[in-house]
Amino acid sequence: MSENLSARGDLRVAPSLLRYELLHVDAQTGARRGRLHTPHGTIETPVFMPVGTAGSVKAVAKDDLLTLKASIILGNTYHLMLRPGAPLIAKMGGLHQFIGWDRPMLTDSGGFQVYSLAQIRKITEEGAAFQSHLDGSKHLLTPESAIEIQETLGADIIMAFDECPPSGAERSYMEPSLARTTRWLKRCHAAWSQQRSSLFGIVQGGLHEDLRRRHVEEVCAVDLPGYALGGFSVGETPEAMHAGVAFCAPLLPKDKPRYVMGVGTPRDLVTCVASGVDMFDCVLPTRTARNGLLFTSAGRLTIKNARFVDDQRPVDEKCSCYTCRTFTRAYLRHLFVSQELVALRLNSLHNLHYFLTLMAQAREAIERDVYGDFLKEVLARPNAAP
Amino acid sequence: MSENLSARGDLRVAPSLLRYELLHVDAQTGARRGRLHTPHGTIETPVFMPVGTAGSVKAVAKDDLLTLKASIILGNTYHLMLRPGAPLIAKMGGLHQFIGWDRPMLTDSGGFQVYSLAQIRKITEEGAAFQSHLDGSKHLLTPESAIEIQETLGADIIMAFDECPPSGAERSYMEPSLARTTRWLKRCHAAWSQQRSSLFGIVQGGLHEDLRRRHVEEVCAVDLPGYALGGFSVGETPEAMHAGVAFCAPLLPKDKPRYVMGVGTPRDLVTCVASGVDMFDCVLPTRTARNGLLFTSAGRLTIKNARFVDDQRPVDEKCSCYTCRTFTRAYLRHLFVSQELVALRLNSLHNLHYFLTLMAQAREAIERDVYGDFLKEVLARPNAAP
């Protein structure tokens, strides 16, 4: 950390803004224990990155994220470009300063939300034209503008503009899409200033192994600080996703960080870590928390369930989060059923703590060369909490 | 504090559960600096009590309330008896234990919400019959049941069951209502076990000075640990309310705490303190916060206002709350406009801090015999922040 802090000034203008250290590979699996040095601090990997869609990890504030020891959070370019807009964020000193977060950040390219949220969208060689889901205003995202906006936001890690084809897309749709994503990647690389933000490429290809292999080669032919696997957890079964990631991840360069986008459940995380993945993001812990679904070491728990009405136990007896140290299931059920706002924060705190702690435990298991045992233990956890 | 802590065991069973110390009367006004000793700790007065309607001060958790140095919070008997119900709270060890709050608490009698929230209500000599606003279920609150429920909840201070007549009620309505409230008070007193919770009587009478004077005499003829003024801030002008409180408060016993219920704005608080009031509660700081209205030393501020879009200043440059120390108006505006949940917490934190700090400043001004100057300074604060 001290090395990183002292080097911060240099890193901000150095050709290599990001540095990945592979510390250890687990003897039982391919799980990697690493360290990612960024201009805003060091990230211990494997890491789970909470999603701060519109510049806020929903229902939790910075103080909570610091308590949770979140080392990096995400911002969504699609949401931020529409509201409050990149020019305003630039005027406010960049995304870090605007939202008051001085640890590492990552922004996605906006492409995924264009495909999943925008009212009307049209993909051409130039880019993706779409109408805002907020007010119907018309926008165009191109590889160049996606990079320009992300560099304006100023996150430590920015993502290439790609197309994420629907789950189960036919080979006949997939092949030209992948070729275009590769052309877009080269345009992203050409547009990238390399001044402050480190650009990651994204591999697509759905569940077609040959297409994935070919696209890994195309994407990794562009020399970038890191690579991501996109197009997973978009509707396929967990087993298919795990197999796809297990196939692709080892094809990525060993000396660069590997990021599987939009994944996933605790089981997804520990399984993909075994395949050598270093970075994850997902709205799952916060979104489910707002719906009253809590993850515990003894399984999942739906807090509004009537059986918790007089349950004096904490949500998870093994958990050390603020929610579990302070409140009973009975009270949390009452808060949720009564639609008290604080329920959403307390639930989100707990779920984020569960995900972040799971990754801390994974890191420790890798260091001790017992990751295979840890994986088995996590996969054996029951589905539903007693 | 140490005196109180060591005596806690005795206080819980002593005949006098509550002890009020009048420390000082301001030389410029009638403002009182006091100390209220309860089974769960000591309260410095004058005090503002955040309202935790259904067992939660909306949008803030216990950790926030501790940071804010809230010394006492309220619970609403009406809400709690309907959901989750007094028997469940009793089973969970009482309200303090159920909600995880070990500082002083006060519950109201439920009467005010019956009149303001319940779908159908009928007042008879026996009590108030009503249907729940949640599910239409039928309930009856009587002086005896209101005390029984409150003693079951186990707050340090409980309130007599009264009728709060509408603002501007005719003398012909008011007189029999007051007589009934007096009869109800005697029934409350007879029902009160004096074991754990200290019962306060409530003076009504609207804006009729002769009725207020007569009701003060009737209510204070019942020997109780404290007395409250009800029926203020129910629709009359601030000036009429201030005059009414200024008339009534000095009529109350000097050696008992004086509580004006449901009041009010910062100006209401400092004005009523000058009349010798010790305790206040109001949903104003939290409710307005959720609507984006923030109180500052430079006036009120509507955070969604377009002029704050690029305002890098904190909400209040003189404020030391977490929100003001951490975030800009521009970011808070973005969070509110984007309907981010955390906006509701950050706004609530700030407003509660403003109200609680105002009372801390009032206490200091009384101690220094300059409360009149402080009052003038607060009343001279502008309406709208620049």
Question: pLDDT tens digits for A49-99?
Answer: 999 999 999 999 999 999 999 999 999 999 999 999 999 999 999 999 999
pLDDT score for A8: 38
Closest in A84, A326, A341 to B59, CB measured? A341
How many angstroms separate the CA atoms of B27 and A149, rounded?
A: 62
Higher-pLDDT residue of B261, A116: B261
Catalytic residues of B: 108, 281
In the residue annotation, A281 being an active-site residue is answered as yes
- Per the prediction, chain A carries an average pLDDT of 94
Residues of B in contact with A342 (CB under 8 A): 56, 58-61, 345
pLDDT band at A119 (very low <50, low <70, confident <90, very high): confident
Coil/strand/helix, residue B293: strand
* Contact call for A342 and B59, based on CB within 8 A: yes
CA distances from residue A77 to A84, A195, B20, B331 in whole angstroms, order as listed: 11, 19, 58, 16
A108 is an active site residue? yes
Is A107 in contact with A80 (CB distance < 8 Å)? yes
For residue B61, give the nearest of A58, A91, A342 by CB distance: A342
Chain A: closest CA distance from residue B234 (Å): 25
pLDDT value at residue A12:
38
Distance CA A39, CA A55 (A): 19
| Shortest alpha-carbon distance between residue B94 and chain A (Å) | 12
The pLDDT assigned to A153 comes to: 98
- Of A226, A195, A187, A223, which is closest to residue A37 (Cα–Cα)? A226
Cα B360–Cα B363–Cα B365 angle in degrees, nearest 5: 110
Chain A CB contacts of B83 below 8 Å: 334, 337-338
**pLDDT score recorded for residue B16:** 58
Query: By CA distance, what is A328's nearest residue in B?
Result: B98
Q: Return the CATH architecture of domain A2-281.
A: Alpha-Beta Barrel (3.20)
Chain B residues 282-311 within an 8 A CB cutoff of chain A: 290, 309-310
Q: Under CATH, domain B44-282 is a member of which superfamily?
A: Queuine tRNA-ribosyltransferase-like (3.20.20.105)
pLDDT digit string (tens) for chain B, length 386 residues: 333 333 333 333 344 589 999 999 999 999 999 999 999 999 999 999 999 999 999 999 999 999 999 999 999 999 999 999 999 999 999 999 999 999 999 999 998 998 888 877 899 999 999 999 999 999 999 999 999 999 999 999 999 999 999 878 899 999 999 999 999 999 999 999 999 999 999 999 999 999 999 999 999 999 999 999 999 999 999 999 999 999 999 999 999 999 999 999 999 999 999 999 999 999 999 999 999 999 999 999 999 999 999 999 999 999 999 999 999 999 999 999 999 999 999 999 999 999 999 999 999 999 999 999 999 999 999 998 88
Residue of A nearest to B55 (CA): A335
Chain A contact present for B339, CB below 8 A: no
Q: What's the CA gap between B72 and B157, in Å, rounded? A: 10
Residue A16 confidence (pLDDT): 59
Q: Locate the chain B residue with the closest alpha carbon to A342.
A: B59
pLDDT for residue A5 is more than 80? no
* High-pLDDT (> 70) share of chain A, %: 96
Reported ipTM: 0.95
The C-alpha angle B203, B209, B214, rounded to 5 degrees, equals 55
Q: Which of B310, B340, B342 sits opposite A92 (nearest CB)?
A: B310
Locate B65 and state its tokens: 């309330």
Q: Which residues of B touch A54 (CB under 8 A)?
A: 334, 338, 340
Under an 8 A CB cutoff, do B312 and A92 touch?
yes
Tokens of A253: 């360069």
How far is CA A102 from its chain centroid?
Answer: 18
| C-alpha–C-alpha distance, residues B138 and B130, integer Å | 6
- With an 8 Å Cβ cutoff, are A63 and B322 in contact? yes
Cα A137 to Cα A133, A142, B218, B384, distances in angstroms: 8, 17, 67, 33
